[in-house]
Amino acid sequence: MGELIMSAPMAVLTSKNRITAEDVVMLRGEVFGDGVVTRGEAEALFALDATARDKCAEWLEFFVEAVTDFIVHQEQPAGYVSQENADWLIRTISRDGMVDSRTELELLVHVLEAAKSSPSTLSSYALEQVAHAVVDGQGPLMTGGGRLIRGSIAKAEVELLRRILYAYGGDGNIAISRAEAEVLFKINERTAAADNDPSWNDLFVKAIANFVMCSAGYEAPIRDVALRRDSFFEQADPEIGGFFSRMVSGGLSGIMEAYRSPGDVEAEWESKNKAAEALARRAETVDAGEAKWLAEHIGDRPLQDNERALLTLIKHASPEIHPALKPLIDRVA
C-alpha cells in the first residue's frame, strides 16, 4: 500500500481496538464529506478493519459502501472497474491467494455487483474463494461458525456462486467467461462423490451451457466507447441486467429466449432484428475452441449426472455438433 496516511480521527480509532456506531457516523462524515473517496481513505479503512477486533454491526455496511465507491465510481467512466483497481483490490485483500475475512469477501462480491463491467480476473478470483472452501476447507467461508463441509457444496455456497456469476463483470462480456467456467469445473470434479445440494447441478449445467453455447453472444461496449455512451447506460442498465438474468436462470429455453426477445437491449442497439437473429444462431453453435475445452475437461471417465445433462442439452439445442464433441455426445444417445 505504501505509506499509510490517516486523518487524526481515523488515527485515534486505530489505538482503540474498537469501532462503535458513533465512530461509523464520524467516519461517514470524514470519508464522504467532500464527495470523493480517495485511495488513501480506502487504505485507511482497510487498516481499521484489520486492527479493530470489536466492530459494531454498522461497520460492515459502511466499509463495503466506502471502498466500493472508490473502486467502482471514482474513476471515469463511472461504473467500470479498471485493471489497476482490480489488481489493487486483490493485492489488498489477499493472503496467500485467499481473502482474509468475511468482510473482505463481501466487499469483493459487492464490487462485482455494483460495477457495470470489471476485469474477468476479479470474478474468477471471487469464485476461487468459494472453491478454496469447497475443495480445500480453507478461507473465510470456513470461519465464523459456518457449517460448510470440505469436499461438498451446500446451498449457501451455490447461492454465493450464483451471486458472483450474476454480477456484472467479465471484461464487458455478459456471457460466462472461460476463467469462470474453469473454476466451476474444478469444483464439480472435486465434489463429484459428495452429497451436494441439488441446486449445484442446476447452476453448473446452466452456467457451462452459457459459456459453451453463448460465448459469441452479447458484448457490452469497451471502456473507451463507454466514455461516449454514459447516458445510454444510465437508461439501459436495468434491461441489460434482466437480459443476463433470463439467460442464466431460465435454462436453455431462457438462454435462447433472451437472445430472441424483441424488447431486449440488442433491439435498442441494432437497427434491424436480423442482426439479433444472427447473434442467436452464432450463440447456438459450439465452436472448435469451446468443443476442445469441454472434451478435455470431461475426458474418457464416466459421466457425472450434471455432465450428462449438459451434453444432452447441447445435443438437442446446437444446430451443429463439432467433431471434437461427437464421441461425448454419442455417450448420451
SS3 236: helix
- Higher confidence at residue 253 or residue 201? 201
pLDDT of res. 25: 94
Q: What are phi and psi of 219, to 5 degrees?
A: -125, 130
pLDDT of res. 305: 85
Total tally of structural domains belonging to the chain = 1
Q: What digits encode the pLDDT tens for the residues 264-302?
A: 444 443 443 444 444 444 444 567 788 888 989 998 888
Sign of CA dihedral 248, 254, 260, 263: negative
Question: To 10 degrees, the CA torsion angle through 314, 317, 322, 326?
Answer: 50
Furthest CA-CA distance within the chain = 70
Confidence band (pLDDT; 50, 70, 90) for 217?
A: very low
For residues 298-316, give the mean pLDDT: 85
Q: What are phi and psi of 240, to 5 degrees?
A: -65, -45
pLDDT of res. 226: 42
User: What span, in angstroms and rounded, lies between the C-alpha atoms of 155 and 157?
Assistant: 5
User: What span, in angstroms and rounded, lies between the C-alpha atoms of 47 and 172?
Assistant: 32
Residue 50 lies in a domain: yes
Contact 66, 32 (CB under 8 A): yes
pLDDT of res. 209: 80
Q: What are phi and psi of 95, to 5 degrees?
A: -125, 105
pLDDT of res. 159: 85
SS (H, E, C) 272-301: CHHHHHHHHHHHHCCCHHHHHHHHHHHCCC
Please, which residues have CB within 8 angstroms of residue 164's CB and are 6 or more apart in sequence? 109, 112, 123, 126, 127, 130
Residue 58 lies in a domain: yes
Average pLDDT taken over every residue of the chain: 74
Q: Any idea which of 175-189, 217-231, 319-333 has the lowest mean pLDDT? A: 217-231
For residues 195-210, give the mean pLDDT: 84
Domain limits at 3?
A: 1-74
User: What span, in angstroms and rounded, lies between the C-alpha atoms of 143 and 137?
Assistant: 10
User: What span, in angstroms and rounded, lies between the C-alpha atoms of 333 and 271?
Assistant: 41
Is 252 a residue whose pLDDT tops 90?
no
pLDDT of res. 167: 78
Residue 212 lies in a domain: no
Residue 271 lies in a domain: no
Residue 31 lies in a domain: yes
Residue 54 lies in a domain: yes
pLDDT of res. 320: 73
Residue 65 lies in a domain: yes
Residue 260 lies in a domain: no
Is 33 a residue whose pLDDT tops 80?
yes
Amino acid at 304: Q
For residues 115-126, give the mean pLDDT: 86
User: What span, in angstroms and rounded, lies between the C-alpha atoms of 29 and 48?
Assistant: 16
Count CB atoms within 10 A of the CB of residue 237.
Answer: 14
Picking from 280, 284, 282, 310, the residue whose alpha carbon sits closest to that of residue 295 is 310
CB-neighbour burial class of residue 333 (10 A; exposed 0-12, middle 13-18, buried 19+) = exposed
Contact 177, 217 (CB under 8 A): no
For residues 65-94, give the mean pLDDT: 90
Amino acid at 67: V
For residues 134-147, give the mean pLDDT: 60
| Percentage of the chain exceeding pLDDT 90 | 17
Is 256 a residue whose pLDDT tops 70?
no
- Higher confidence at residue 148 or residue 170? 148
Is 70 a residue whose pLDDT tops 90?
yes
pLDDT of res. 95: 76
Contact 171, 119 (CB under 8 A): yes
Confidence band (pLDDT; 50, 70, 90) for 24?
A: very high
